[in-house]
Amino acid sequence: MASKPEIGFCGLGAMGFGMATHLVTQGYTVTGFDVWAPSLDKFKAAGGIPSTSLSESAKDKQFYICMVATAQQATSAIFSDDGILKGLPKGATLVLCSTVPSAYAKTVERDLKFVGREDVFFIDAPVSGGAIRAADGTLSIMAGASPAAIEKGKWLLEELSAPEKLFIVEGGIGAGSNMKMVHQVLAAIQILSLSEAFGFAAALGLNGKDAREAVIASEGWSWMFENRSVRTLAEDYFPGASAVTIILKDTGIITQTSRQHLFPTHLVNTAEQVYLQALTRDYGSNDDAGLVRLWTSTPVSSIDASSLSASDKESKLALVISLLKAIHLVAAVESISFAKHVGLPLQQLYILAKDAAGGSKMFEKYAPELIALLEGGSGEGEPVKLASFTEELSKAVDKAQEVKCPLYLGGTTLSLLLAAKGAEDGAGLKELLSVYVGR
């Protein structure tokens, strides 16, 4: 662009602050609004222009980004008497980067027309990647909008996203939020699976550091495990980098949308119940890497495993890895089949998720065959024998029962494998998909 336009920004939380200050470092004049005064002071120190008025932050801004926490906050920010629309000039582009239900994004589009602001180019563009990538301008962004709105705002999305991490999702408003939602199916399950794995390892007498090293080098790896386990071992929960309430909000979007679409999200439903349980322990504002405390009050990095023989240690670590492998396999099925159900491009989901926060060895390895099966192909690729997953997970569940360790995701996963006739030699991904999409 010949000259850099001024940009308005609402929501200077961890992610929003990183996004807004990244734009400042790229030479844009950014006026930022937040309800918390210290955030405004910090933004001013970083070179931004602070504003205590939403309408003033939007005045004369042809481009505006809204990055608040919830749909309710977005409604207030956009449509209130002193809201963004009051200051936004004619023909401006409004980008909603919050994680919200697809149905909500569509109501914003509808309500813009209802209040006479159909001139606004609206983009539904949730983001993923965390505060560090936000500040680096290397987020993954999933954008849905009209072709005209995408044309107007694509340059701004490119400024905030990593190369090849801007995903323009076909389907208009709501499609971006749906893509974020099915990615969060993976994230929501895998955030809990790492604490379940650490809790199981602790019950087996394994040291957390040994468990982390073994899992990361195995097919039980996930991005969430490698990322969150650093904070689990350090007990860096207060407040930590990602509160339990954040992932609970996302699971709520998933389960609510799944009910609207009459689609089963078995593992996310289980995860949501555990996240709700964490609230009863007052863990909501703590980092989600601290959910392991639902299993053990002993720091997992301090568990003495010196009495275990090498072979005993190896066999117990294998049980932990088997637990994660099975959970992550079924998580991949749940996410991809839900994406198919809501009409998303599956290959785009694969490219997005395999290198993002929802990535896992199981997803990367088996998603191509799952996609081929759902798109009417033969599913030729890496063969899956559910019997081996079922046998290995059964051993882990039996051992957990013996040592009185709850496996919430593990138990649900085993039930799904058995429902797919996973104990039979011939059962594979086709049978597992049938649990979600019917026979």
Last residue of a domain, one of 126, 144, 173: 173
Tokens at 268, concatenated: 């996310």
Domain of residue 260, residue span: 178-437
Does residue 241 belong to any structural domain of this protein?
Answer: yes
| Closest to 198 measured CA to CA, from 230, 223, 168, 240 | 230
Residue 1 pLDDT: 47
Does residue 1 belong to any structural domain of this protein?
Answer: no
- Same domain flag for 208 and 148: no
- Same domain flag for 277 and 330: yes
Amino acid symbol at 304: D
8 A C-beta contact, residue 380 and residue 429:
no
Does residue 240 belong to any structural domain of this protein?
Answer: yes
- Same domain flag for 212 and 121: no
- Same domain flag for 168 and 202: no
Residue 425 pLDDT: 87
| C-alpha span between 305 and 400 (Å, rounded) | 18
Least confident range from 47-61, 69-83, 250-264, 374-388: namely 374-388
Last residue of a domain, one of 173, 196, 230: 173
| C-alpha span between 346 and 377 (Å, rounded) | 13
Cis peptide before 147 (omega within 30 of 0): no
- Same domain flag for 11 and 142: yes
- Tell whether the model's pLDDT for residue 379 goes beyond 60: no
Whichever domain contains 121, its CATH number is 3.40.50.720
Does residue 149 belong to any structural domain of this protein?
Answer: yes
Per-residue CA distances from 179 to 75, 137, 272, 348, 351 (Å): 21, 20, 19, 9, 12
The residues, any chain, with a CB within 8 Å of residue 401's CB and separated by 6 or more, are none
- Same domain flag for 183 and 280: yes
- Give CA torsion, residues 338, 340, 344, 346, to 10 deg: 110
Using CA of residue 6, residue 9, residue 15, residue 21, what is the dihedral sign? positive
C-beta atoms surrounding 228 within 10 Å: 27
CA atoms within 13 A of residue 136's CA, in its CB half-sphere: 11
Residue 3 pLDDT: 84
> In this predicted model, what pLDDT tens digit does every residue of 18-46 receive, in sequence order?
999 999 999 999 999 999 999 999 999 99
Does residue 2 belong to any structural domain of this protein?
Answer: no
- Same domain flag for 99 and 187: no
Tokens at 280, concatenated: 């009863």
Count structural domains, the chain: 2
- Same domain flag for 211 and 345: yes
For residue 127, is it left (φ>0), alpha (ψ between -120 and 50) or beta?
Answer: beta
CA atoms within 13 A of residue 313's CA, in its CB half-sphere: 15
- Tell whether the model's pLDDT for residue 2 goes beyond 70: no
Mean pLDDT, rounded, for 167-171: 97
8 A C-beta contact, residue 242 and residue 132:
no
> In this predicted model, what pLDDT tens digit does every residue of 83-134 receive, in sequence order?
999 999 999 999 999 999 999 999 999 999 999 999 999 999 999 988 899 9
> In this predicted model, what pLDDT tens digit does every residue of 285-310 receive, in sequence order?
999 999 999 999 999 999 999 999 99
Residue 81 pLDDT: 96
- Same domain flag for 167 and 194: no
Least confident range from 19-28, 46-55, 381-390, 405-414: namely 381-390
Band of the pLDDT at 439, cuts 50, 70, 90? low
Does residue 214 belong to any structural domain of this protein?
Answer: yes
Residue 384 pLDDT: 86
Parallel/antiparallel/unpaired status of strands 7-10 and 30-33:
parallel
Whichever domain contains 350, its CATH number is 1.10.1040.10
Does residue 167 belong to any structural domain of this protein?
Answer: yes
- Give CA torsion, residues 252, 255, 259, 260, to 10 deg: 60
Residue 437 pLDDT: 93
Last residue of a domain, one of 145, 173, 201: 173
Please give the backbone phi and psi of residue 82, each rounded to the nearest 5 degrees, phi first. Answer: -110, 35
- Same domain flag for 58 and 183: no
Mean pLDDT, rounded, for 359-366: 97
- Same domain flag for 139 and 57: yes
Give the chain's mean pLDDT: 96
8 A C-beta contact, residue 390 and residue 419:
no
8 A C-beta contact, residue 415 and residue 408:
no
> In this predicted model, what pLDDT tens digit does every residue of 316-354 receive, in sequence order?
999 999 999 999 999 999 999 999 999 999 999 999 999
- Same domain flag for 119 and 206: no
> In this predicted model, what pLDDT tens digit does every residue of 241-254 receive, in sequence order?
899 999 999 999 99
